[in-house]
Amino acid sequence: MTSSTSTKIAIVGYGSQGRAHALNLRDSGFDVTVGLRPGGPTEAKAKADGFVVKSPAEAVKDADLVAVLTPDMVQKKLYEDVLRDNLKQGAVLLFAHGLNVHFGMISPREDLDVVLVAPKGPGALVRREYEIGRGVPCIYAVYQDKSGKAEEFALAYAGGLGGARANIIKTTFKEETETDLFGEQAVLCGGASSLVQAGFETLVEAGYQPEIAYYEVLHELKLIVDLFYEGGITRMLEFISETAQYGDFVSGPRVIDASVKARMKDVLTDIQNGTFVRNWQAEYDAGLPNYRKFQQADKDHPIEKVGKELRAKMVWLQGNAGPASEEQAKKTAAA
């Protein structure tokens, strides 16, 4: 697969990642068609961006490579109802997350090359970095290599996204899926939000003002995360005070101790043995009752009321969608 108008790519889904992939690949010289449900929420957006939009079934029939960029829990049905019987013989089937393939929810046809390409950044960043001549690092993997050229296809796709301008790392479907789920659950989303809520509750229950607590445990977190992002823990230590450093050294391990790490290992075990995915599938099939309850509980937490009031006075935040909309954008990707 080379970067040319002779290579036909179908992007199924046009959320945050889908749009970035489609635009970058087109600008890299590929012939890109977008597959979306007629009348879906993103059809007009894809057409406004100048793409030919077809139903997923029609979009994939002539495609050399089909990229599945829809939410995880709709991919099994999408594959069984649309992709399996419409993908042409010997096509490349590409995923940006390995969950469905790794856990056996999708069993790809034997004649297909099956690969994974995952940019390590939200869609808006993938597009923005490409436009200014840079790129976001990508990881890639090969699950099924029928043609003998599956790795070449994955690398060409990653290059078309701009990944070759930054860094491309080979992985496996297993490694990408399990580490991605663990990072989200134990650190980035579940761990961070629970830590922030617990810190807020501790300060408020001790009699401190909720507004002060918000600034100390949530608002200023961005400053620290930015330093992590720019240069790791070393850079963070360079920019905080000696007092903050000493507190880090003596108190961090009291909060995140060996028992926390043991529970992290339990989380990882549940991911590795399929317990998490089975539970998530059952929850999805039941209509998401617990999911909605948990989601509402987070929205109703006192830190959210205080934060909304304080952020309304932060004029620099107004009109800034930023990466905070990425997860919601994934959910609106239409199949």
**Is 42 strand, coil or helix?**
coil
Rounded-to-integer distance, Cα 127 and Cα 162, Å: 9
Is 180 labelled a binding residue? yes
Q: Where are the alpha helices (DSSP H) in 183-311?
A: 190-205, 210-214, 221-239, 242-255, 258-272, 275-285, 289-300, 302-311
Q: Among this protein's residues, is 97 annotated catalytic?
A: yes
Q: CA angle at residue 51 from 49 to 52, to 5 degrees?
A: 150
Chain centre distance of CA 332: 13
**Is 1 strand, coil or helix?**
coil
Residue of 9, 173, 35 lying closest to 91 (CA atoms)? 9
Rounded-to-integer distance, Cα 29 and Cα 160, Å: 8
Torsion of the alpha carbons at 329, 84, 156 and 148, rounded to the nearest 10? 150
Residue 103 near residue 274, CB atoms below 8 Å:
yes
Rounded-to-integer distance, Cα 14 and Cα 160, Å: 17
Is 216 labelled a binding residue? yes
Tokens of 214: 């918000």
Is 309 labelled a binding residue? no
Is 243 labelled a binding residue? no
Chain centre distance of CA 16: 9
Of the residues 97, 102, 219, 301, only one is catalytic, namely: 97
Is 151 labelled a binding residue? no
Provide the 8-state DSSP code for 65.
Answer: E
Is 37 labelled a binding residue? yes
Rounded-to-integer distance, Cα 209 and Cα 195, Å: 18
Is 16 labelled a binding residue? yes
Is 247 labelled a binding residue? no
Is 42 labelled a binding residue? yes
Which residues have a Cβ under 8 Å from the Cβ of 223 and sit 6 or more positions away? Answer: none
Tokens of 65: 């490579």
Q: In what order do the strands lie in the sheet with 52-54?
A: 52-54, 31-35, 8-12, 65-68, 92-95, 113-119, 138-144, 168-170
Segment holding 182, helix H or strand E: helix 173-182
Residues contributing to the annotated binding site for substrate: 241
Residues contributing to the annotated binding site for NADP(+): 14-17, 37, 42, 123
Residues contributing to the annotated binding site: 14-17, 37, 42, 123, 180, 184, 216, 220, 241
Catalytically annotated residues: 97
